[in-house]
Structure 1
Amino acid sequence: MTVELIDPPGLPVPGIYHQMAVARGSRTVYLAGQVARSAEGEPVGPGDLAAQAEQAFLNVATALEAAGGSVDDVAKLTLYVVDWSPDKLEALGEGVGRAQERLGRDLTKPVTLIPVVALAEPDLLIEVDATAVLD
C-alpha cells in the first residue's frame, strides 16, 4: 500500500476523515482543483452541493487513473466550499458518499476544508484539490 491512513493515539478519531497519511512511493501527483464539470466542460448540479461534490470527486478519480493511480493513492485532500456553514455538512457527505459508491472506493482521507466566498466561476460550489503518491 502506498498510503497508510492513521489516527494516532492522543488525537480524536473524526470518523469522516483521518488525521494523517504516511505515503511511500516514487511519484507524487498534484492535481489541479477539480470541480463539477463533465468531460465536455458542461456544469453538473447547478446549485446542488451534493451533486457537485460527487462530480468533483469523480473527476479526481478520473485524473488519478490517467496517471496510473486511483483514489486509494490520495494522501491529502483540500476542499474549498463556497459559503460554508455546518448545515452543509449533510449535503457534502451525501455527495462524497455517492462518489464512493460509484467508485467502489473509500474517500476517507486526511482533509482540510476551507470556506471561500466564491470560486473561479459563479456556478461552482466546491473544488477538490488532491495530492497522491504512486509506486
Structure 2
Amino acid sequence: MTVELIDPPGLPVPGVYRQLAVARGSRTVYLAGQVARTATGERVGPGDLAAQVEQAYLNVATALDAVGGSFDDVAKVTLYVVDWHPSKLAALGEGVSRAQERLQRDLTRPVTLLPVAALAEPDLLVEVDATAVLD
C-alpha cells in the first residue's frame, strides 16, 4: 500500500473520512473532477445527490484502474457540492457507501468538501476529484 491513513491523537475521529494520508510512491496521479455520467455520457441520477456521488466515485475508480491504481492509492479527495447544506450530508454518505459496496473497498480518505453555486452542467450536483500516489 502506498498510502497510510491516520487519525492522530488530539484530532477528532470523524468516521466518514480520515484526517491524514501519508503517501509513498514514485508516480502522483491528479484526476480531473469526475461527475455523474457513464462512459457513454449518459446522465445518472438527475436530482439525486446520492446516485450522483456513487457514479462520480465509480468514475474515479475507473480512472485509477486505467493507470494501474485503485482507491487504496488515493491520498486526498475533494468534493464540490452544489448548493451545499448540512442536510445533504446523509445523501453524500449514502452515495459513498453505495460506491464502497460496489467497489468492495474502504473509501474513507482525507476529504475536503467545497460548496459551489453550480458546476459546468446544470444537472450536475457533485464533482469528485482525487490525488493518488502509485509505486
Deviating beyond 2 angstroms after TM superposition, the runs of 4 or more aligned structure 1 residues are none
Unmatched 5+ stretches in structure 1:
none
> How far is the alpha carbon of 1:42 from its aligned partner?
1.1
Structure 2: gaps spanning 5 or more residues: none
Task: Give the whole-Å Cα distance in 2 for the aligned partners of 1:93 and 1:7.
Answer: 19
Instruction: Give the aligned partner of residue 13 of structure 1.
Output: 13
| 2:54 corresponds to 1:54 | yes
Q: Report the TM-score, using the length of structure 1 for normalisation.
A: 0.99
The superposition leaves residues 35-78 of structure 1 with CA deviations (integer Å, 9 ceiling, x where unpaired) of 00000011100000000000000000000000100011000000
For residue 33 of structure 2, what is the aligned residue in structure 1? 33
Distance of 2:39 and 2:67 partners within structure 1: 17
CA deviation digits over 1:12-55, x for unaligned, max 9?
11111000100000000000000000000111000000000000
Aligned-partner residue type, residue 38 of structure 2 = S
Matched with 2:80 is 80
Paired residues in the alignment total: 135
Q: Secondary structure at the match of 2:95?
A: helix
Query: Are positions 1:94 and 2:94 aligned together?
Result: yes
Percent identity reads: 84
Cross-structure match for 1:117: 117
